[in-house]
């Protein structure tokens, strides 16, 4: 099972399906009026429109026009065409059947019952009964004041009410350096965690360190064989060993530290070892026999020394890569600790007490088919050694015991079959499997010069995340990785990521931010002043079509942020920032900001500074910088 989870899986403890989005909405629906603490007037107005409609429903119920038992969920959405208003509701259509009345008649009664609001220009009824709301210009202009006043808090909210969520991501086996496939999981997981934190959740970011199990034993055996070669031995390296240059580097460190003190005759290592695959044998049996011989020859203490040499070297490399990539963790959780503190044993005992374990051929099997899995799963082998799956059961039980309201695992898409068995185990333990959400991420496919780059950790033929970052930079890598839905295949075009053109979305967005900074540098060079208060007082003159488009785009940011967080879709934010940058560049090319008219100048400077702030806020949540110069 360890082989299946190579790339799956945050102080370090020593020895799909997206149900979460629905659950977030259910958790927070009762507190919708508090959901916009930092979100600004326009988002607040959306809440206010909801209140106006709810009050109108209550009025009609009191009059007997609508049934008293109705408790409709009022939905307010932006219109696609501003000719039909700024916001619209289909409430009348939803009430038609239970009220036994035509939708348009209900819409007319609802509109008549709505109290006047100074931020509303007018209300119209369209089609079969849609209610369209047109905002006053003052409502739109207030967005600029909100952004400038709230700064980096603009768009954030307490939607999550500090509910605790754990996000576990990357968690690649420490058997080799992170490659570009892991990079997508890192960028995506970090963005999901930061988005959830931005809407008020208490997020715990965790990396599960697979520091036990067969894959780590294969690494230890691979390191030891390279060590023997450095001692002068000649051998045929196993087909299933780890063959990358990094294994030589670890072996060299081992040799420098211990000389030939760990050496045993190579013949002894291969004594009674079955043939390898190239010789007509079985590669798995061959490497397992080498591991067993290495353990026997070295003994427990020396074998652990070789084992930890590989573990610590690669784990340190992974930590460095992720830190330099701007990805942080609150905890690095050790798989080995689950055995050391008997958590694995305790989980197996719980399953036995619940009657979901049986013995067959000397092994213990979990009855996962009782919970919809395709077959039962071994949790203790016939040699008495627990499986990786047993450790994973204990780990997920541990997560829930820590009191998280929700647990999110971010795995590679090739592990989709692992989801039902983990949920089955939680249910068998008596835990709520719905507290676990698993988000599946397709690995990115790297293209250089139009040709696909092959990657394999075992063979050592792969492009590391570090190499990618050096070639395209952190910003392009972080942004490109989250431009698509996590479950969609992604082709990473190196040439596009490095280009300084409008076709490169991250360059295009950063350039908008830098352009605003350039305008303010020109302001100083021309010895002109920006009076922000005067600009606020003069916002009513921002009536040009480009200005209106830009203001409306700015007002959308809190909604985009919230939606992206709830649905775990950071690509929504990347698309929004591209559109916002396009609106700004269009405005920049069509108008002059540093005009002689101080009223116009201050108002426009307020607008573009607000734009710069939103771009900085959005890029920050994606782990991308907002440079002042390009």
Report pLDDT digits (tens) over 376-412: 999 999 988 899 999 999 999 999 999 999 999 999 9
Distance CA 521, CA 501 (A): 23
- β-pairing verdict for 406-412 and 436-441: parallel
* Contact in structure between 247 and 226 (CB atoms under 8 Å): yes
What pLDDT is attached to residue 414?
Answer: 86
Round the average pLDDT of the chain to a whole number and report it.
Answer: 90
Distance CA 308, CA 290 (A): 18
Token couple for 193: 């965690």
Percent of the chain with pLDDT over 90: 77
Q: What phi and psi, each to the nearest 5 degrees, are found at residue 200?
A: 100, 5
DSSP, collapsed to helix, strand or coil, labels residue 483 as coil
The pLDDT tens digits of the residues spanning 502-518 come to: 999 999 999 999 999 99
How confident is the model over 517-535, as a mean pLDDT? 97
Kindly tell me if the per-residue pLDDT of 306 is higher than 70.
yes
Distance CA 157, CA 561 (A): 10
What pLDDT is attached to residue 81?
Answer: 86
What pLDDT is attached to residue 461?
Answer: 62
What is the number of other CB atoms lying within 10 angstroms of the CB of residue 583? Answer: 21
What pLDDT is attached to residue 455?
Answer: 57
To 10 degrees, the CA torsion angle through 620, 623, 627, 630? Answer: -140
The pLDDT tens digits of the residues spanning 14-43 come to: 333 344 545 544 444 333 333 344 444 555
Burial class of 265 by CB neighbour count within 10 A (0 to 12, 13 to 18, 19+): exposed
DSSP, collapsed to helix, strand or coil, labels residue 115 as coil
Token couple for 83: 């000719």
How confident is the model over 449-454, as a mean pLDDT? 80
The pLDDT tens digits of the residues spanning 91-129 come to: 999 999 888 899 999 999 999 999 887 788 899 999 999
Nearest to 622 by CA among 498, 509, 543: 509
Taking each helix axis as running N to C, give the angle between helix 418-428 and helix 388-401, from 0 to 180 degrees, rounded to the nearest 10: 60
pLDDT class of 69 with cuts at 50, 70, 90: confident
CA angle 311, 317, 320 (to 5 degrees): 135
Percent of the chain with pLDDT over 70: 92
CA angle 115, 121, 127 (to 5 degrees): 85
* Contact in structure between 436 and 442 (CB atoms under 8 Å): no
Q: What phi and psi, each to the nearest 5 degrees, are found at residue 89?
A: -135, 140
pTM of the entire structure?
A: 0.88
Distance CA 138, CA 159 (A): 26
What pLDDT is attached to residue 37?
Answer: 41
Looking at 71-75, 141-145, 589-593, which range is the least confident one?
A: 71-75
Distance CA 191, CA 477 (A): 13
- Please compute Rg for the chain using Cα positions: 30
Residue 463 bridge partners (DSSP): none
- Domains annotated on the chain, with CATH: 2-23+160-204+328-444 (3.40.50.620), 40-153 (3.30.1360.70), 214-324 (no CATH), 505-621 (1.10.730.10)
Nearest to 133 by CA among 41, 49, 48, 42: 49
Longest C-alpha distance within the chain, in Å?
95
Distance CA 617, CA 442 (A): 27
Q: Is the dihedral of CA 42, 44, 45, 49 positive or negative?
A: positive
The pLDDT tens digits of the residues spanning 568-585 come to: 999 999 999 999 999 999
To 10 degrees, the CA torsion angle through 487, 491, 493, 494? Answer: 80
Token couple for 577: 């920032």
Q: Using alpha carbons, list the distances in angstroms from residue 474 to 214, 407, 479, 609.
A: 33, 28, 8, 25
Q: Using alpha carbons, list the distances in angstroms from residue 585 to 215, 264, 329, 546, 550.
A: 51, 68, 36, 10, 10
What pLDDT is attached to residue 44?
Answer: 62
Locate all alpha helices (DSSP H) within 369-417, ordered by sequence. Answer: 388-401
Looking at 114-118, 298-302, 589-593, which range is the least confident one?
A: 114-118
Give kind and range of the element (H or E) at residue 88. Answer: strand 87-89
* Contact in structure between 144 and 604 (CB atoms under 8 Å): no
What pLDDT is attached to residue 447?
Answer: 86
For 46-76, b where at least 16 C-beta lie within 10 A, e where not — what string? Answer: bbbbbebbeebbebbeeeebbeeeeeeebeb
The pLDDT tens digits of the residues spanning 175-225 come to: 999 988 899 999 999 999 999 999 999 999 999 999 998 999 999 999 999
Distance CA 222, CA 231 (A): 14
Distance CA 416, CA 440 (A): 7
Nearest to 137 by CA among 115, 116, 114, 118: 118
Taking each helix axis as running N to C, give the angle between helix 465-472 and helix 474-481, from 0 to 180 degrees, rounded to the nearest 10: 110
Q: Using alpha carbons, list the distances in angstroms from residue 118 to 134, 227, 508.
A: 11, 78, 38
Token couple for 124: 């119209």
Nearest to 620 by CA among 197, 114, 226: 197
DSSP state of 171: -
Quickly list DSSP for 277-340: GGGTS-HHHHHHHHHHHHHHHHHHHHHHHHHHHHHHHHHHHHHHHHHHTT---SEEEEHHHHHH
The pLDDT tens digits of the residues spanning 227-244 come to: 999 999 999 999 999 998
What pLDDT is attached to residue 169?
Answer: 98
């Amino acid at each position: 099972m360890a082989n299946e989870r190579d790339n799956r899986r945050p102080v370090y403890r020593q020895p799909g399906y997206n149900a979460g989005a629905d659950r977030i909405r259910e958790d927070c629906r009762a507190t919708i009026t508090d959901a916009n603490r930092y979100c600004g007037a326009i988002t607040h107005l959306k809440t206010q429109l909801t209140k106006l409609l709810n009050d109108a429903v209550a009025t009609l119920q009191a009059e007997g026009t609508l049934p008293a038992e109705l408790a409709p969920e009022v939905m307010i959405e932006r219109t696609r065409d501003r000719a039909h208003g700024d916001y619209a509701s289909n409430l009348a259509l939803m009430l038609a059947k239970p009220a036994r009345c035509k939708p348009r008649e209900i819409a007319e009664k609802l509109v008549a019952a709505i109290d006047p609001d100074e931020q509303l220009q007018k209300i119209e009824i369209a089609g079969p009964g849609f209610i369209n709301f047109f905002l006053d210009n003052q409502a739109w202009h207030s967005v600029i004041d909100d952004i400038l006043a709230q700064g980096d808090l603009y768009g954030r909210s307490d939607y999550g009410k500090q509910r605790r969520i754990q996000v576990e991501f990357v968690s690649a086996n420490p058997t080799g350096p992170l490659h570009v496939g892991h990079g997508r999981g890192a960028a995506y997981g970090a963005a999901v965690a930061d988005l959830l934190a931005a809407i008020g959740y208490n997020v715990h970011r965790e990396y599960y360190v697979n520091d036990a199990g067969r894959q780590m034993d294969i690494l230890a055996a691979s390191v030891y064989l390279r060590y023997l070669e450095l001692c002068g031995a000649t051998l045929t390296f196993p087909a299933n060993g780890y063959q990358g240059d990094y294994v030589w580097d670890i072996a060299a460190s081992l040799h420098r530290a211990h000389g030939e003190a760990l050496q045993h005759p190579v013949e002894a290592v291969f004594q009674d070892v079955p043939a390898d695959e190239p010789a007509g044998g079985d590669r798995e049996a061959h490497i397992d026999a080498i591991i067993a011989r290495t353990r026997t020859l070295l003994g427990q203490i020396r074998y652990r020394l070789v084992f930890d040499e590989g573990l610590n070297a690669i784990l340190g490399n992974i930590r460095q890569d992720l830190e330099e990539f701007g990805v942080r963790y609150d905890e690095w959780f050790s798989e080995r600790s689950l055995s050391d503190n008997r958590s694995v044993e305790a989980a197996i005992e719980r399953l036995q007490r619940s009657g979901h374990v049986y013995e067959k051929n000397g092994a213990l099997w979990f009855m996962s088919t009782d919970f919809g899995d395709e077959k039962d799963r071994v949790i203790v082998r016939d040699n008495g050694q627990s499986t990786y799956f047993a450790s994973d059961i204990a780990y997920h039980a541990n997560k829930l015991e820590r009191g998280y309201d929700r647990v999110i695992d971010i795995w590679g898409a090739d592990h989709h079959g692992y989801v039902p068995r983990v949920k089955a185990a939680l249910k068998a333990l008596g835990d709520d499997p719905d507290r676990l959400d698993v988000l599946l991420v397709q690995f990115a496919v790297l293209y250089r010069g139009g040709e696909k780059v092959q990657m394999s950790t075992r063979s050592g033929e792969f492009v590391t995340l570090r190499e990618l970052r050096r070639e395209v930079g952190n910003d392009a890598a972080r942004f490109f990785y989250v431009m698509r839905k996590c479950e969609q295949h992604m082709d990473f075009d190196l040439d596009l990521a490095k280009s300084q053109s409008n076709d490169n979305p991250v360059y295009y967005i950063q350039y908008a931010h830098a352009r605003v900074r350039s305008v303010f540098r020109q302001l100083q060079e021309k010895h002109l002043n920006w009076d922000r208060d005067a600009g606020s007082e003069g916002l009513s003159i921002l009536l040009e079509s480009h200005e209106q488009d830009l203001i409306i785009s700015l007002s959308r940011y809190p909604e985009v942020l919230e939606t992206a967080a709830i649905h775990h879709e950071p690509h929504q934010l990347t698309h929004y920032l591209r559109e916002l940058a396009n609106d700004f560049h269009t405005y920049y090319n069509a108008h002059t900001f540093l005009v002689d008219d101080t009223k116009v100048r201050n108002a426009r400077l307020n607008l573009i500074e607000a734009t710069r702030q939103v771009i900085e806020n959005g890029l920050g949540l994606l782990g991308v910088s907002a440079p002042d110069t390009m």
